[in-house]
């Protein structure tokens, strides 16, 4: 009998778990190693909980392809497994002539990416849907929605184990030994394992993992961008009914401060995008000397800051002064005021920056021998996780 392929996945975020789940369905022997004591403790458990269907992304890019396929698979998985979700649609709001032009181009991009049912809302339609939102023009994206990504991950863990896979928590992987032509050895602090392939889905640590496991210099650097949210105090939830997004600045991969109805009914406003001084820096005073030195001595980040000084300073200000934060949201809901809001959760985005100082927009995957590294999987990585898994299995693993 042919021996089952043994595959190690590093990282129990939603991307690593989706890959492990799909491999377990293909009868592979999968082991997931996670450095934390539970799954989804970083980006996948600290995001906006939105399912994006491909409005923003460059036609032909991996993001465009994988978010369109990914959202369909995510909704199907949620339906099959009774996971809370709601395809409530999203409104993208232009508040000036300039933004209106960008919105028209965005709709065009959405059509090219195969989105269905895009339509501009009349003033009456917008008022009925979102009475507090003021817009020059508003685009409805009906296929998008919200979901409980933590519940998705819990279910994935259950299914991986049910299919014979294993998940080892509190198991950071620091090194890999290429022991022979046909296998790779992983040592944890507890044991030694041999695998045919290793897939690293390490989010905020993807560049470090690449360097440690391949002994090569990473072609990009992960810069952590903290995303802080405010939330509506009880009694003010009616200010927003669904998802309300601004027209994004196409120079950046961040979608801008938006309003999100979360799956538990609460309403969040955010996130901003503040350069963080620690990869898992969830507080404004989080600091790691190593992460800070690595970031500040990286020529790519210095170039980025020089080229985008006002963006960097503005985002920083929005972290310290609520007035600055709220001003971004007030463009869409002018009646908003600070007394309706309180500080909410925080996430940190793993954003790849090239040595030239560009924020890398698309997903980035590299194969090195029997190792596959997902180096950049920013938003909509959660929406697209099942499609990323299929993409890796079809294109990076031998049939």
Ligand X SMILES: Cc1cc2nc3c(=O)[nH]c(=O)nc-3n(C[C@H](O)[C@H](O)[C@H](O)COP(=O)(O)OP(=O)(O)OC[C@H]3O[C@@H](n4cnc5c(N)ncnc54)[C@H](O)[C@@H]3O)c2cc1C
The H or E element containing residue 289 is helix 289-296
> What is d(CA 76, CA 80) in angstroms, rounded to the nearest whole number?
6
Q: What residues line the site for ligand X (CB under 6 A)?
A: 10-16, 33-36, 41-44, 46-50, 52, 172-173, 201-205, 209, 227, 271, 347-349, 377-383
Residue 384 Cβ vs ligand X, minimum distance, rounded to whole Å: 7
> Which DSSP helix (H) or strand (E) runs through 301?
helix 299-307
CB of residue 235 to ligand X, shortest distance in Å:
25
| Residue 122 C-beta: closest distance to ligand X, Å | 28
For ligand X, give the closer residue by CB, 41 or 322. 41
Smallest distance from the beta carbon of 297 to ligand X, in angstroms?
A: 22
Q: Which is nearer to ligand X, 209 or 371 (CB)?
A: 209
| Nearest CB to ligand X, comparing residues 165 and 378 | 378
3 state SS for 230-243: EEECCCCHHHCCCE
Q: How far is the CB of 123 from ligand X (least distance, A)?
A: 28
Nearer to ligand X, 137 or 224 (CB): 224
CB of 30 to ligand X, least distance (A): 15
Please state, in angstroms and as integers, the Cα–Cα distance from residue 307 to each residue in 153, 251, 319, following that order: 38, 11, 21
Closest CA to 347 of 261, 256, 279, 260: 279
Shortest CB 19 distance to ligand X, Å: 9
Q: Is residue 320 helix, strand or coil?
A: helix
User: Which letter, b or e, does each residue of 100-111 get, where b requires 16 or more Cβ atoms within 10 Å of its Cβ?
Assistant: eebbeebbebbe
CA distance 96 to 102: 10
Instruction: Considering the complex, state which of residue 229 and residue 298 has its C-beta at the smaller distance from ligand X.
Output: 229
When the beta carbons of 34 and 130 are compared against ligand X, the nearer one is: 34
By beta-carbon proximity to ligand X, the closer residue of 295 and 379 is 379
Q: Label the pairing between strands 184-187 and 192-195.
A: antiparallel
Nearer to ligand X, 137 or 173 (CB): 173
In the bound state with ligand X, the residue whose beta carbon lies nearer, of 203 and 300, is 203
Nearest to 121 by CA among 163, 73, 145, 89: 89
Please name which of 14, 10, 28, 70 lies closest in space to residue 399, comparing C-alpha atoms. 28
For the record, the structure tokens of 56 come out as 């923003």
Identify whether the C-beta of residue 365 lies closer than 8 Å to the C-beta of residue 375. Answer: yes
Candidates 363, 335, 375, 350; CA nearest to 213 is: 375
What are the helix and strand counts (H, E) for the chain? 11, 21
The rounded distance, in Å, linking the Cα atoms of 27 and 10 is 19
Q: How far is the CB of 339 from ligand X (least distance, A)?
A: 25
Minimum CB separation from ligand X for residue 21, in Å? 12
């Amino acid at each position: 009998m042919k021996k089952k392929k043994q595959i190690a996945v590093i990282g129990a975020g939603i991307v690593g778990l989706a890959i492990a789940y799909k491999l377990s369905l293909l009868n592979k022997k999968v082991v997931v190693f996670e450095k934390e004591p539970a799954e989804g403790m970083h980006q996948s458990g600290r995001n906006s909980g939105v399912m994006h269907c491909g409005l923003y992304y460059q036609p032909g890019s991996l993001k465009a392809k994988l978010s369109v396929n990914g959202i369909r698979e995510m909704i199907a998985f949620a339906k099959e497994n009774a996971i809370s979700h709601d395809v409530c649609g999203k409104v993208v709001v232009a508040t000036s002539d300039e933004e209106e032009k960008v919105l028209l181009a965005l709709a065009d991009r959405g059509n090219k990416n195969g989105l269905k049912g895009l339509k501009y809302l009349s003033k009456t339609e917008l008022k009925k849907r979102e009475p507090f939102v003021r817009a020059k023009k508003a685009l409805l994206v009906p296929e998008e929605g919200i979901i409980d990504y933590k519940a998705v991950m819990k279910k994935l863990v259950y299914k991986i184990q049910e299919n014979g896979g294993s998940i080892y928590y509190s198991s950071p992987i620091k090194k890999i030994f290429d022991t022979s032509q046909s296998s790779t050895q992983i040592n944890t602090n507890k044991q030694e394992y041999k695998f045919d392939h290793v897939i690293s889905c390490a989010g905020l640590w993807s560049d470090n993992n690449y360097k440690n496991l391949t002994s090569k210099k990473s072609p990009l650097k992960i810069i952590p961008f903290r995303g802080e949210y405010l939330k509506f105090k009880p009694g003010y939830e009616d200010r927003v009914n669904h998802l309300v997004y601004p027209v994004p600045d196409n120079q950046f991969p961040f979608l801008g401060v938006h309003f999100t109805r979360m799956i538990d009914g609460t309403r969040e406003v955010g996130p901003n995008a503040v350069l963080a001084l620690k990869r898992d820096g969830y507080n404004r005073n989080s600091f790691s000397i190593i992460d800070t030195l690595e970031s500040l001595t990286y020529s790519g980040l210095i170039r980025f800051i020089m080229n985008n000084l006002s963006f960097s300073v503005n985002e920083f200000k929005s972290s310290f002064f609520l007035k600055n934060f709220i001003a971004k949201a007030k463009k869409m809901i002018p009646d908003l005021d600070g007394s309706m809001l309180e500080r909410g959760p925080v996430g940190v985005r793993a954003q790849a920056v090239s040595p030239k100082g560009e924020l890398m927009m698309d997903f980035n995957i590299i194969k090195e021998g029997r190792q596959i590294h997902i180096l950049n999987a920013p938003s909509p990585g959660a929406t697209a996780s099942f499609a990323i898994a299929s993409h890796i299995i079809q294109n990076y693993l031998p049939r």
